[in-house]
Amino acid sequence: MWTLSEVRSKLSDRLGEDSIVFWEDADRDSYINEAQRLVSSITRGITSTAFGTVNTSTPSITLPNKMINGTATMGYVDGGRSLSIISVEQANLVSPNWRTQRGSPLWIILDTMTATARVTPIPTAGTTVYVTVSILPADMSADSDELFDGVDAMEQYQGAIVNFAASLALLKERYDGDAERFYKFAVQEMQQVGVNPQEIPPFREVATDA
């Protein structure tokens, strides 16, 4: 996996910085981190598993920081039995009394307002519950920090990171034509590794937020 130092150098090459350096390291690092957050939110390829023992006195576990879109990819109890996952809003509609039900857990209820996962029915005896969610990577700051927290499965998106970062850098200086060109390069690279283009925000949306 490329390090921050390597990506920064590749970004400088992509931007055509030869004898004159237009963007400071701190600026380029910011664009690289923004790009890896964008790719991670699109692919949801970085995951973290939270777990804890739930019972009637402790009916929830704390979810990981930087969770993407308030969704989970997997939930199960000790022993491997899978649990269905729904939002607290869905649970309130389907079964308004879910908070008071007792028994063997069947559902994991995600509450993004409190960053917790609750189970229903709630077991009277302690039961260990696991919840896997997609998360954003930590921002890179040291030269040796790796893209995507070093997750090997994300290696295929490294090239797109450079083009996304170049697009963001140019957007900050309002070079919209060149910025859009690099953004299209990044989208093409994402599509080549199987990402649904409908999952990638359009350039104008990114440009508006820049």
Residue 177 shares a structural domain with residue 146: yes
Last residue of a domain, one of 103, 135, 167: 135
Phi/psi of residue 48, nearest 5 degrees: -145, 140
Q: Is the pLDDT of residue 203 over 60?
A: yes
Give the pLDDT score at 19: 47
Q: Is the pLDDT of residue 16 over 80?
A: no
Last residue of a domain, one of 135, 166, 197: 135
Mean residue pLDDT across the chain = 89
Residue 113 shares a structural domain with residue 164: no
Last residue of a domain, one of 135, 153, 181: 135
Phi/psi of residue 54, nearest 5 degrees: -110, 145
Residue 145 shares a structural domain with residue 180: yes
Residue 117 shares a structural domain with residue 78: yes
Q: Is the pLDDT of residue 4 over 50?
A: yes
Q: Which residues of 46-58 are buried (b: 16+ CB within 10 A; e: fewer)?
A: bbeebebebeeee
Residue 53 shares a structural domain with residue 91: yes
Number of domains in the chain: 2
Give the pLDDT score at 13: 87
Mean pLDDT of the region 201-207? 83
Residue 121 preceded by cis peptide, ω within 30: yes
Provide the residue range defining the domain that includes 76.
47-135
pTM, whole model, 2 decimals? 0.83
Q: Is the pLDDT of residue 7 over 90?
A: yes
